[in-house]
Structure 1
Amino acid sequence: MDVRSRVSHGLSQEGYSFTKYFLLEMTFLAVGYITFVPEIQEFCTFAFIGLFVDFYMQLFFYVPCLTFDLQRLSRADKEQFSLMLFNSDI
């Protein structure tokens, strides 16, 4: 399988749960933000920014880095890595 297909397959498998949990965490932070307690609002603001940056870093930085890394590997390296993952207890 080529790199584009592998990355798109991985994102199709994990993208939904990743986005679902991101939106769920943002909802909890929004509920915390409307408590009108300044300390909680400050924490929620900081956590919101952190989660937002994390979400976009994983989509727009990690995935391209993974793609470049997969393109760098030779076919034998990919087969060896696939066998290693298949035989592991992950």
Structure 2
Amino acid sequence: MGLGLIASIIVGGLAGWIASMIMKADTGIFSNILLGIIGAFVLNLILSLLGIYAANSWVPQLIVGIAGASLLIWGYRRAKS
């Protein structure tokens, strides 16, 4: 069973917030949610291409979301400079 839309938004927001703290990025609540959700999607896609699948529960998805959002913040900073 999937996380569901509301749970995905909550996990995505939490992942984006944690990633912004790790990366010392000044982002708002909506940016945190978007970074977490998009980051989790992108990293899940990359991992699936490598044959690695995160379990479809909130803890593994939170970890993937944090890593993915951190990757997006890092990429944004690299593109900006």
**Could you state the TM-score of these two structures normalised by the residue count of structure 2?**
0.33
**Could you state the TM-score of these two structures normalised by the residue count of structure 1?**
0.30
Higher relative contact order (CA 8 A, sep 6+): 2
Q: Which has the higher helix share?
A: 1
